[in-house]
Each structure stands twice: as C-alpha cells, then as structure tokens.
Amino acid sequence: SVIHLALIVLLCSVKQLPCSTLEVAASQWQQKSFVCVCVHIHHFGILKDKSPAQPGLPVDARVPFHNLQAVKVFLESNTIPYTITIDDMQMRTRELLDEEKEAMMVSRKFERSSNSFSFSSYHTIEEIYNWMDNLVAENSDLVSKIQIGQSYEKRPLYVLKFSAGGINRPAIWIDTVWTANKIATKYGKDASLTAILDTVDIFFEIVTNSDGFAYTHSTVSASGGRSGGKRCSHFLSICCLFICHHMYFITGPASSSNLCAETYHGPYPHSESEVKSIVNFVLSHGNMKALLSIHSYSQLLLFPYGYKAKPVPDHQELNDLAREAVAYGSMIDTICDYDNGMKYSYTFELRDTGRYGFLLPAGQIIPTAEETWLALMKIMEHIRDNPY
C-alpha cells in the first residue's frame, strides 16, 4: 500500500531564503525512512523535521531554495513521486499576512466588549489581554483571571478560571481562545455544558507563548510568519531564534538534543519559564483530571505516549474516546499513537493538512473552532461522567 507523506518545505533559515512546497508519496517504509534520515542529518540543507510515528502521518521539513533541485533529483532517483504545490512560499506568506493585517485593522474599529470581539480575524496579544479583562468583567460570577507566572521576556502568563463554585473541584486544562468565549456565553443555556461546569472547573491559558505570539505580530519570522508556537530563549542565541514549548515537558526519542532542531527538548525538562509555570500550577492544583492542548497543523487528535513507543495504562479508553470525539468533530481524520498522574491528555492538531500550514487564513478560524468545539464537548462530557 502507498504511504502518503507530506513533505512541507517551509521558509528555509533565519536568513528567510525563498522555498517551495512539495507533496511526497513514498511506496515503501525504506523510502520513507530514507527521506527522514536525510531530513534528520540536515542533508540538502533541510532544517525542519516532523517525522511520522506510523504510515500516513506527515513529514514536515524546510529546505533552502538553492538546494531544491538536489532534493528533486534525490526523490526522482529513488523513484519517490512528488508534486510541487507552492512555488514560492515566501510570496504566499507575504500575501496572506497582508490580508490578515487588513482584517485586523477593520476588527479593531468595532471591538469594545467580549461580545464584539471578532473571532474571524487574528489579534495582537494586547487585544487578547483586553478581551480577557472584558470577559471577566462581564461574567464575574463565572470567570476569574489568575496570573501563573511570567514569560522569558517578563510578560504575564494569565489563566482564565471558569467555575460555578466549590473548592478544589476536579478540573480540566485547555489552551484556546474561542472555546473560552463559547463556554461563557453558553453556561446556563446549554444543558450539557452547564452540567459540565456544575461538576468540574475549567482553566484556560489563552496565550501559552506570549513572547512568540508578540514576535509573530511584530515581524515576519524565519519560519513563515506564524511561529507563535516557538519562542526566544537565553541559551539559543548562538544559532537559533526559537524553541518549541511542547517539547520542553519531557525528553525522549521523539525529541532532539540538537539546539537548532525544531524538536529540541531543552537543556532539561521544564527549563522554560512558560512550561515551568504550567507544571507548577497543575501540580499545585492537585485535582487536574485532563489536559487538552490545541495546536496546528495536520488535523490529528493525539494522545500519549508521544515520546516513546509504549501504550499507556488506559490506552483503550483513550483511543475509544478519541474516536468518539472525531466522529463529532469532522476536522480530524487520523488518530495516533497519560502521564500516570493525568489520565485524559489530548493534543488537537487543527487545520489544515499542509496547503497553508501555520499560515491558516483567518476565514478558516471559525469553521475550525466550531468543529473542534464538538470534539472538545464530547471529551469533557466523558470526563464529567467518568470521574477518577
């Protein structure tokens, strides 16, 4: 059977060299492994690697444009079919960012409350902070704001707590904006959601990476203008601009010890203040039952383990619940293979599958959020009905 791989060639170095996007299909495990090895050792100048854990999952990489011909020759000589889907990724990036900035300017003219906040455009971190304050002010009986720490650049790390009352109740951690607003407007009106909040508290970290988020809106970054998932760090000044937060919780075969690798795991677990703040808050709470993390892109629903090839103790239950969530939320079509302290742990990789990658057009924000909401509700209902 054919193993479909997406080799997404993104912007190519901190020098922002132009590049193209390729879609590659390997017919054998050996061919796929050969591609991954070349990516891993930075052959042809490929700098980004997201190797698949199983057939059918995407491989993402970036390659300097001046080496593109060599990559094409390599693929053809190994009889690996490919298609160039984007000739000039940098030009596509500029076009999308120009459109995005225009939409942001229009939305600013109308935003005076949480109800008028536009979810059909992107926002600066200052606008999101203002929306958070408005949401708390307008729903003070349900929502409160907590500062759990500071970023490397001393920006505050805020969490919104949704609670119908009670002390040290079971809780769910989610990092997303649209869902928080949805819960605030639906509590008391939607029976299922109301039953969830009457049973558990929900904590939202709206912006996990405030430094990277601010940088994304201040300049077109080296990885294509949407590198909010990564951030500046004191020990990366030698060769790299950014690091990836989600790799900093734990080390293992899925992460890298290479300082400049996309999956660099840091000098030690929880080395970054943003990650350490989350860990400290969750541990000090003592009754956190689920962690639902929202990322892009690939349209996947992931659950542990991701750092080693070993099933978790509750693998079957997690797998069954993931399949139910997928059935309710149409954006996800692939499920991959708890930390023993937190049973329900999922990562959503949202739209799309590679055409836009991290540069998802603003017009897809609401459709993506709506379909994700259905899956989140299914998982939260299960957690409500299956306490542990």
From 189, 190, 182, select the one nearest 162 (Cα to Cα): 182
Can you tell me the distance from the alpha carbon of 213 to that of 295, in angstroms, rounded to the nearest whole number? 13
Locate 210 and state its tokens: 């405030």
Longest dimension (CA), the chain: 65
Q: Give CA 32 to chain center in angstroms.
A: 25
SS3 content of the chain, % helix, strand, coil (to 5): 35, 20, 45
- The answer to whether 384 and 170 have CB atoms below 8 angstroms apart is no
Number of H helices and E strands in the chain, helices first, is 10, 15
Residue type, 336: C
Q: Is 99 a catalytic residue?
A: no
Cβ atoms within 10 Å of 238's Cβ, excluding its own: 7
Locate 170 and state its tokens: 């079971």
Q: Give CA 216 to chain center in angstroms.
A: 15
DSSP string, 92-124: HHHHHHHHHHHHHHHHHTT-SSTTT--SSS---
Cβ atoms within 10 Å of 344's Cβ, excluding its own: 22
DSSP string, 192-238: HHHHHHTT-EEEE-S-S-HHHHHHHHHS--TTSS--TTEE--GGGTT
Cβ neighbours of residue 12 under 8 Å, at least 6 residues apart? 18, 19, 45, 47, 62, 63, 64, 65
CA end-to-end span of the chain, whole Å?
Answer: 41
Active-site hit among 23, 100, 349, 371: 349
Distances (CA, A) of 84 to 6, 62, 93: 11, 13, 16
List residues with catalytic annotation. 349
